[in-house]
Structure 1
Amino acid sequence: MNKIKQILRKHKFKIIFTILLVWYYFALPKELFNTPTSTVVTSSNNELLGATIANDGQWRFPELDSVPTKFKHCIIQFEDAHFYHHFGFNPVSIVKALQQNIKAKRVVRGGSTLTQQVIRLSRKNKQRSYIEKLKELILATRLEFRYSKQKILQLYASHAPFGGNVVGLEMAAWRYYGLQPHQLSWAESATLAVLPNAPSLIYPGKNQLRLKKKRNRLLKKLFQEEIIDSLTYTLAIEEELPQKPHKLPNLASHFVQEVKKKHNGKRIHSTINIELQQQVQNLAKLHYQQMRQNEVHNLAVLVLDVNTRKVLAYLGNSPTDKKHQKDVNNIIAPRSTGSTLKPFLYAHMLQSGELLPSQLVKDIPTEIAGYTPKNFDLSFDGAVPADEALTRSLNIPAVRMLQEYGLEKFRDHLQEYNITHINKSADYYGLSLILGGAEASLWDLCKIFAGYAGTVNHYETLKHQYYKNEFVNPVYQNTSKVDFGKVNTNQSIIDAGSAYITLETLTNVNRPLSDQAWKYYDSSQKIAWKTGTSFGNKDAWAIGTTSKYVVGVWVGNSDGEGRPDLTGVGSAAPLMFSVFDVLPKATWFLEPFEDVKEVAICKQSGCIALPICPSTKRRVSKNGVRGASCMYHQEVLLDSDENFRVNSECESVNNMITKSWFVLPPLMSYYYKQKNPEYKKLPEIKAGCSTIEKNTIDFVYPTTIQSKMSLTKDNNGDINPILVKLTHSNPEAKIYWYIDDTFMKVTEEYHELPIQPSKGKHTIMVIDDNGNEAKRFIEIY
């Protein structure tokens, strides 16, 4: 113990010095300013898009990277002319300040350097006293050790008060002049340089003369120091002071709010193209003026770059008011998908080989487990090529295709696309999944379209290979680069051939009336696009892609109110095409020849052609070669005049002609021939020819074996009958009708029977003159 005391006495000055040195080193906080800052978002060329107020209610932008030269000269000449020559404090200024304060018996001059003022700002402007001044002086010298003069200027310019809740040069430049700091004139820079010394002078209509005198004195000093010339000085003192606050730019408010959620208080250099953003907002404003006449108040537009997956334009809502949910971001809000998922089902069926592009699919009255889909126009085509069913957005073929492909399997594909809001089981959605029974956001749907376009683009650039993460989320930070993952020989979700055929098919979707003649103009470009309209006309979608850009549009009411005439093609598509018109024109995709196969396709059925089919060559996905062969062509024996079907019992073999005939099943042909007048029914059987026909009876109504229905009444209160209809492949056939085993009637040519059964269960049975029969079971309630 004595030894320790001896050492302390012997080295007490060294120890004290060491303690003071350690204290001095750690006296300055590691983080000088920990105040919250505004979230600031700039465009791809670094122009301000918008900002949000800091959490403490101050408009305080993140620290500047540099201080503009004009403001630098102004603030140094006004506050600290010897800034570059002292080490944190100016003894001469301090002595002068002491003399004036003692003489005035109050603090009239501070004598602080810019370095000391930075310290005072970091210490929350504590009450001014000589003790506090001493602390500031010591900390100022420590600050000079830590940072360069340039950095100290940046700290001052970023944290100095400029009146009201405006903090920092950048915000002050926007607030009072509507400019960026480097755009300020000498007079404007001088005005802002004198403000931190007396921030209350800035209020419009107050203290204008005092503020102008302070500014002009500074400008005169700049002239005297030969920092500005006489002409600049003369012009500068004539400039007016700011009279009213300027509003910050607000070009992408919903985008700024989304950025704030993840980057609160940061400065984000975004991917938004400010010129395109302005054009999109102008187009959307015009479109909104039209839509609100139908009491449709909201919309959203998203533009993506296919190659980089960068967000180029982001408009979350229309320029509406708070009453109509102006703050809702409709780009990320989940909405009923309508028909927008149909292209993906088509693509996956192509890829699996279960469907060929022009293969006929059924479009007939359909009921599946109580679910009865209907086409938008409530009509039936009987049979329709799959690509036409997609471009016309027919609902019944889509539901039947989904049932054939597998609901669970398709739901798994949607999960692979990472659609945020489709997160429930296949059973939860049922077959209505393909018609809008699920919800998705515009963001996710545009992401998938970009993935399809990118798959085709990359197939060539990667020499017939695929990225693992083709359907990656778009990026919105300019410095970010999307990670497509590793390169594989096999596709991750969809192959290039199926994606290309799907996109090629979507170019044939009928455009809005204003754009019907697009194919005849050289300036027009091919666009693969799809519309969607949700049940009840609540959501209208239009999403399109070229090889370079994806444009997605949603139109509707954010509160979910449906409106008559709100449709994808009529309400959303015109805006989508207007946006494409302001984008640079893009060439169409290169066809991925190595990922498609050319096969002989039956011209009428769209299936793999049989030798008896009239055929044409068409490219299909590589698995399309395993597609179904034509099941609708059959060889028939005709007489020499080709008027009747015959066989050896009624016609000489020498007089018989073998001919290929396109024959659809009865119910399909019943509707098909109504829209396809070129469809020729089979010739009648020549008298005397015995035949063994298959059961070719098919009910038109009721369509399902078991049905529940009610009897309606007309305006007079009389009960309306139920009209039972069927079709038969043999136009000469006679049909015998029975209700609950009671014979009712015989029909020929037109097979219809009006019935008024009592409440309860009943059986309808029909028998043709060859003994073929069919039944329907109905329940009247």
Structure 2
Amino acid sequence: MLPLADAACVVLLLAFLFSLPGQLFKSPTSYVVAASNGELLSASIAKDGQWRFPAADTVPDKFTKCLIAFEDKRFYAHPGVDPIAMARAMRQNLKSGSVVSGGSTISMQVIRLSRRESRTLWQKMIEVVLAVRLELSSSKEDILGLYAANAPFGSNVVGLDAASWRYFGRSAARLSWGEMATLAVLPNSPSLIHPGKNTERLIKKRNDLLDKIARLKIIDQATAELSKLEPIPGKPLPLPQHAVHLLNRFKSEYNDHSKGYDKSASTRITSTIDYELQINVNSLLKRYNNRYRANDINNIAALVLDVRTGKVLSYVGNNYQPDQKELESHVDMVRAARSPGSTLKPLLYASMLNEGFILPQTLVPDIPTQISGYTPQNYDLGYDGAIPADKALSRSLNIPAVKMLQNYKYQRFYDKLKQLGFTSLNKPADHYGLSLILGGSEVTMWDLTKAYMGMARSLNHYNEYKGRYNPHDYDAPVYVQGETRERSERDMRFDQYETQLTSVVDHAAIWNTFNAMEELMRPGEEGLWEQFSSSQRLAWKTGTSFGFRDAWAIGLTPDHVVCVWVGNADGEGRPGLTGIDAAAPVMFDIFKQLPVSKWFKIPQNKLKKLLVCRKSGYKAGENCVDKVQQLVSPAGEKTRICPYHVLVHLDRTETQRVTDACDSTVNMVHKPWFVLPPAMEYYYKIKNSDYKELPPFKTGCGAEGSGTAMEMIYPKNYASVYIPLEFDGSRGKVVLNATHRSANTRIYWHIDNEYVGTTQVYHQLAVSPPPGRHMLTLVDEYGERLVQVFTVLQ
């Protein structure tokens, strides 16, 4: 058993060893976001109302030298307590009869700042003990870091980093000797910072320190004299607000347990943001926003990603205007779920190429369409009859897109979007239906750019990874510096993949899609881009939501993805708010801030050569005369043979069609012919003067039983129609519209087996049937019949 004295010593030793808490400072800190070069982008005040930045990794050498010269010149020599300084302080205090000097070391001041106790003799003794204990467990540099991060600098400013920005508008590393000397003397008397007061006292303390460090040969006297001429700070300056929305995103994700942030982690991040680009994009968006506000379009956002690394290079969630709250510029439109307009069309095009539904230029119907009461319209309200899929994409036609989705199935496309990482599709596929392709869902800018970046990364990696797929290509973008480094290293570890990996979309489909996207006609002066050698090749797409509520533009190169949104955060639509007019010019101007990239390399070994009908874009069959070789996805082999090239039987003059009922097979001429269905032909021949209609049947041959002579344009089978009232209150009429392959043929119309009229050449008939279900029967002069059903709504 230990003697009492020894036991007491052990207890005292243990008390000494465990006297210091594991974390000295537990005060909340400001959230701080810095650019990739360390420049401050944005910061928010701490929960307790103080500007207190997290402790920096290093303390600027100028501050260290000024602080030690002013507060604790034997800092590196003493063990936490300076007996000489304390003896001097006691002598000065006794002589003056009041406290004129404290004799506290920097270590003791760190302890006092962490404890916040009243300054009594007993507390002074505790500070001595704890200062020695602190010195045993911490380096001198760590102690200086604790002091610099937690010293008071007047008003509600705590810590050197916050003080340098609040008083001088720069980082501590960029302060001059005069500015650093000012900050070094402030913690000793933080009340000296008060606009219009104490100016002379603060200048004297700063100048005395400058003279002192000159005597210590830290600086020369000339530098000291010049530093004395520098002005001292007045009222605190506002902190930079270059990335307010990214800061708020970091704050919310830091406090979201599912994001995996350690609560002991710093509330300061060094982001991947390119500082100069962020400043330029902010300025650019502000300029456009000022212009658009004349049309009451109040909000604009942009996101720029580095394709190869997944870094976020610029993040502007809105043109931030805190003094005008009615503009709702605090809303982060990068994270807001909005209607995407037509921006999902390239994803459908790529998916259909990927799975063998179409080839790049397969003809798609573009005719009046009504599907279960849903009636899509093209922006120009016109029809092409039939149009190549890539041209339908580059012109952003709605009806072909709906027809393509109807063929592909919206349930399959919904699953594909989920696979691409769209997180805002929180309702079943049936809720969206075919409107999914025209903006009937909601997406975020973050998810949209992630999907396009993933496709670009996948195509880039084709040559780098010898045709294999990287499963991380579709990972979310990252805005924190360390996370980017980890992912880049992970991307390159491909020895672990022994077999070829599957991708969301194959390389060939992506390549064809990007080439189709490049064909979009650029707005304004950009339309002449090909005439300039310095111009950037871009795959890009615009989108406009229903009611002109959202204008989108997204573009990409092998190196960058840029997405722009323009609109009102409250969802108010405005005339003229379209992707091509409002968002696209901004996107092109942002690309001008970026280095020019080369175009995507062709994935040669992944593209398959296939003979295709030049006119139809389908896989060539035996009746296709004009064939062309195209590079397509391997799945293109699964596409159907061209249905529009058929073999027709003509008489010897080749001006009339015949059948074996009216002509001998010996006399027939068999000739391939490009034939579209009647409704498609009706519109197609208007815009394609080279289209040759089928010759008429020879007299006596007829067309009985062909079943292809007539087609309804409106209404479609099983459609529902609404007949409005006229201005005078009388019941209006609905115009029935049909087409016949033979232009001069008469058509006899019947509704519910009752004759209602005859048409020739232009087969349109205005009728006013009562509400309810009706049977429509069309009979041509050859006896060909077309029967279908439609419903008139109440």
| TM-score by shorter chain over 0.5 | yes
Q: 2:527 aligns with which of 502, 511, 516?
A: 516
Query: For residues 224-249 of structure 1, what are the alpha-carbon distances to aligned partners after superposition, in whole Å with 9 as ceiling and x for unaligned?
Result: 22222121122122222222322222
Give the match for residue 85 of structure 2.
Answer: 93
Give the match for residue 473 of structure 2.
Answer: 470
The answer (yes or no) to whether the contact 1:101–1:109 under 8 Å persists in 2 is yes
Give the match for residue 262 of structure 2.
Answer: none
Unaligned runs of 5+ in 2: 256-265
Q: 1:245 aligns with which of 236, 244, 253?
A: 236
> Whole-Å Cα distance in 1 between the matches of residues 660 and 36 of structure 2?
81
Q: 1:408 aligns with which of 406, 411, 415?
A: 411
The answer (yes or no) to whether the contact 2:611–2:619 under 8 Å persists in 1 is yes
> Whole-Å Cα distance in 2 between the matches of residues 167 and 563 of structure 1?
47
The answer (yes or no) to whether the contact 2:373–2:720 under 8 Å persists in 1 is no
Give the match for residue 459 of structure 2.
Answer: 456
Q: 1:201 aligns with which of 185, 192, 197?
A: 192
Task: Verify: 1:169 aligned to 2:132, yes or no.
Answer: no
Q: Give 1:689 deviation, angstroms.
A: 4.0
3-state DSSP of counterpart to 2:467? coil
> Whole-Å Cα distance in 1 between the matches of residues 22 and 538 of structure 2?
56
Q: 1:69 aligns with which of 61, 82, 98?
A: 61
Counterpart of 1:561, as a letter, is E
> Whole-Å Cα distance in 1 between the matches of residues 504 and 326 of structure 2?
43
The answer (yes or no) to whether the contact 2:152–2:190 under 8 Å persists in 1 is yes
Give the match for residue 781 of structure 2.
Answer: 769
CA RMSD in angstroms comes to 2.0
Query: For residues 583-624 of structure 1, what are the alpha-carbon distances to aligned partners after superposition, in whole Å with 9 as ceiling and x for unaligned?
Result: 000011111111111111101111011233111111111010
Task: Verify: 1:533 aligned to 2:544, yes or no.
Answer: yes
Counterpart of 1:765, as a letter, is T
Task: Verify: 1:551 aligned to 2:562, yes or no.
Answer: yes
Give the match for residue 295 of structure 1.
Answer: 296
Give the match for residue 108 of structure 2.
Answer: 116
Matches for 1:625-704 after TM superposition, within 5 Å: 625-646=637-658, 656-689=668-701, 691-704=703-716
Task: Verify: 1:27 aligned to 2:19, yes or no.
Answer: yes
Task: Verify: 1:45 aligned to 2:37, yes or no.
Answer: yes
> Whole-Å Cα distance in 1 between the matches of residues 738 and 649 of structure 2?
27
3-state DSSP of counterpart to 1:303? strand
> Whole-Å Cα distance in 2 between the matches of residues 644 and 530 of structure 1?
46
Q: 1:589 aligns with which of 600, 618, 638?
A: 600
Q: 2:332 aligns with which of 323, 329, 334?
A: 329
Q: Give 1:293 deviation, angstroms.
A: 1.5
The answer (yes or no) to whether the contact 2:709–2:742 under 8 Å persists in 1 is no
Q: Give 1:752 deviation, angstroms.
A: 2.8
The answer (yes or no) to whether the contact 1:542–1:568 under 8 Å persists in 2 is yes
Name the CA shift for 1:716/1:260 in 2 (closer, same or farther; >3 Å).
Answer: closer
Give the match for residue 208 of structure 2.
Answer: 217
Give the match for residue 106 of structure 1.
Answer: 98
Task: Verify: 1:150 aligned to 2:162, yes or no.
Answer: no
Query: For residues 21-75 of structure 1, what are the alpha-carbon distances to aligned partners after superposition, in whole Å with 9 as ceiling and x for unaligned?
Result: 1111111112111111111111111111111111111111111222222221211
Give the match for residue 224 of structure 2.
Answer: 233
Matches for 1:383-532 after TM superposition, within 5 Å: 383-481=386-484, 482=487, 483-484=490-491, 487=497, 489-532=500-543
The answer (yes or no) to whether the contact 1:693–1:770 under 8 Å persists in 2 is no
Name the CA shift for 1:710/1:430 in 2 (closer, same or farther; >3 Å).
Answer: closer
Q: Give 1:462 deviation, angstroms.
A: 0.5
Name the CA shift for 1:751/1:263 in 2 (closer, same or farther; >3 Å).
Answer: closer
Task: Verify: 1:254 aligned to 2:213, yes or no.
Answer: no
> Whole-Å Cα distance in 2 between the matches of residues 737 and 219 of structure 1?
103
The answer (yes or no) to whether the contact 1:304–1:313 under 8 Å persists in 2 is yes
Q: Give 1:94 deviation, angstroms.
A: 1.8
Query: For residues 719-773 of structure 1, what are the alpha-carbon distances to aligned partners after superposition, in whole Å with 9 as ceiling and x for unaligned?
Result: 5443322111233433222233233444333323332334554433221233221
> Whole-Å Cα distance in 2 between the matches of residues 575 and 690 of structure 1?
60
The answer (yes or no) to whether the contact 1:469–1:492 under 8 Å persists in 2 is no
> Whole-Å Cα distance in 2 between the matches of residues 262 and 67 of structure 1?
29
Query: For residues 120-149 of structure 1, what are the alpha-carbon distances to aligned partners after superposition, in whole Å with 9 as ceiling and x for unaligned?
Result: 11112x111111111111111111111122
Name the CA shift for 1:225/1:443 in 2 (closer, same or farther; >3 Å).
Answer: same
> Whole-Å Cα distance in 1 between the matches of residues 764 and 170 of structure 2?
79
> Whole-Å Cα distance in 2 between the matches of residues 179 and 367 of structure 1?
62
The answer (yes or no) to whether the contact 1:697–1:726 under 8 Å persists in 2 is no
Query: For residues 633-675 of structure 1, what are the alpha-carbon distances to aligned partners after superposition, in whole Å with 9 as ceiling and x for unaligned?
Result: 1222334543333456666767654322111111111111122
Task: Verify: 1:159 aligned to 2:186, yes or no.
Answer: no
Q: Which has the larger displacement, 34-43 or 582-591?
A: 34-43
Q: 1:604 aligns with which of 606, 615, 637?
A: 615
Q: 1:743 aligns with which of 721, 741, 755?
A: 755
3-state DSSP of counterpart to 1:681? coil
Counterpart of 1:345, as a letter, is L
Counterpart of 1:296, as a letter, is I
Counterpart of 1:157, as a letter, is A
> Whole-Å Cα distance in 2 between the matches of residues 692 and 748 of structure 1?
19
Q: State TM-score, norm by structure 1.
A: 0.95
Task: Verify: 1:578 aligned to 2:584, yes or no.
Answer: no
Q: 1:358 aligns with which of 349, 358, 361?
A: 361
> Whole-Å Cα distance in 2 between the matches of residues 123 and 691 of structure 1?
101
> Whole-Å Cα distance in 2 between the matches of residues 419 and 753 of structure 1?
46
Name the CA shift for 1:503/1:719 in 2 (closer, same or farther; >3 Å).
Answer: same
Give the match for residue 279 of structure 2.
Answer: 278
Unaligned runs of 5+ in 1: 1-6
Give the match for residue 373 of structure 1.
Answer: 376
3-state DSSP of counterpart to 2:566? strand
Q: Give 1:108 deviation, angstroms.
A: 2.7
Give the match for residue 4 of structure 1.
Answer: none
Q: State TM-score, norm by structure 2.
A: 0.94
3-state DSSP of counterpart to 1:516? helix
The answer (yes or no) to whether the contact 1:702–1:776 under 8 Å persists in 2 is no
> Whole-Å Cα distance in 1 between the matches of residues 172 and 773 of structure 2?
84
3-state DSSP of counterpart to 2:764? strand
3-state DSSP of counterpart to 1:637? strand
Q: Which has the larger displacement, 702-711 or 157-166?
A: 702-711
> Whole-Å Cα distance in 2 between the matches of residues 736 and 352 of structure 1?
44
Name the CA shift for 1:540/1:177 in 2 (closer, same or farther; >3 Å).
Answer: same
Q: Give 1:703 deviation, angstroms.
A: 2.5
Q: Quote the sequence identity (%).
A: 46
Query: For residues 440-476 of structure 1, what are the alpha-carbon distances to aligned partners after superposition, in whole Å with 9 as ceiling and x for unaligned?
Result: 1000000000011011111111001001232100111
> Whole-Å Cα distance in 2 between the matches of residues 214 and 757 of structure 1?
96
The answer (yes or no) to whether the contact 2:716–2:790 under 8 Å persists in 1 is no
Counterpart of 1:254, as a letter, is H
Counterpart of 1:408, as a letter, is Q
> Whole-Å Cα distance in 2 between the matches of residues 577 and 176 of structure 1?
38
Q: Give 1:688 deviation, angstroms.
A: 4.5
The answer (yes or no) to whether the contact 1:299–1:554 under 8 Å persists in 2 is yes
Counterpart of 1:499, as a letter, is I
Q: Give 1:330 deviation, angstroms.
A: 0.3
The answer (yes or no) to whether the contact 1:766–1:774 under 8 Å persists in 2 is yes
The answer (yes or no) to whether the contact 1:62–1:266 under 8 Å persists in 2 is yes
> Whole-Å Cα distance in 2 between the matches of residues 759 and 117 of structure 1?
89
Q: Give 1:697 deviation, angstroms.
A: 4.4
Q: Give 1:176 deviation, angstroms.
A: 1.2
Counterpart of 2:470, as a letter, is Y
Counterpart of 1:267, as a letter, is R
Task: Verify: 1:305 aligned to 2:306, yes or no.
Answer: yes
